[in-house]
């Protein structure tokens, strides 16, 4: 508690290796709040600054934190091919409105090894004409991989865009058996 008797927001983070490069994982007492691709020093520093600004507290590097332990274990198991689903508490505080609604539907309704079109996902949340807005929601996803925006593709068969880069999206889809493994 702080000096005013309020519960302090605590944010902890760690960088973990994955099959797609270093990932920054950040958590609060509510759950996993952020996953950041390509977490080199510069990317990591910007992500931590953004979290501090958005959540109102300075995130602490704490790879051994109990708040992160299960998330790290599950992410490592996913990339080792030993886990298909994430069963983690999630802190949705970095996203709201339509974007949150779409990401919650994606998280619960598009299983490992499957894909969904942007328009189809829009229809699932009652907005059948909002395919472009679904694309925006995917780009705003604060929890990629765990909330699997890589599973959202163009209805015509194209791979679509991806905040982590198209090569990263291809690797994630290959890991899940949707695409063949990249040759190199």
Give catalytic residues, as residue numbers. 149
Task: State how far the alpha carbon of 177 is from the alpha carbons of 1, 53, 106, 127, in Å.
Answer: 47, 38, 18, 29
DSSP 154-174: -TTS-----TT-HHHHHHHHH
Query: What sign has the CA pseudo-torsion 167, 169, 170, 172?
Result: positive
DSSP at 148: -
15 phi and psi angles, rounded to 5 deg: -105, 130
Length of the chain: 184
Rounded CA gap, 40 and 121, in Å? 32
Rg over CA atoms, the chain = 17
């Amino acid at each position: 508690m702080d000096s005013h008797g309020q519960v302090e927001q605590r944010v902890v983070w760690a960088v973990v290796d994955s099959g797609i490069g270093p990932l920054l994982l950040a958590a609060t007492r509510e759950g996993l709040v952020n996953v950041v691709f390509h977490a080199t020093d510069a990317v990591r520093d910007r992500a931590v600054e953004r979290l501090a600004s958005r959540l109102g507290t300075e995130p602490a590097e704490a790879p051994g934190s109990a708040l992160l332990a299960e998330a790290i274990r599950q992410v490592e198991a996913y990339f080792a091919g030993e886990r298909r689903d994430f069963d983690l508490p999630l802190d949705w505080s970095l996203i709201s409105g339509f974007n949150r609604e779409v990401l919650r539907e994606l998280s619960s309704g598009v299983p490992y090894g499957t894909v969904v079109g942007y328009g189809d996902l829009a229809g699932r949340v009652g907005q059948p004409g909002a395919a472009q807005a679904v694309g925006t929601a995917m780009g705003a996803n604060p929890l990629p991989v765990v909330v699997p925006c890589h599973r959202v593709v163009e209805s015509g068969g194209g791979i679509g865009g991806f905040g982590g880069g198209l090569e990263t999206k291809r690797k994630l889809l290959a890991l899940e058996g949707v695409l063949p493994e990249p040759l190199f």
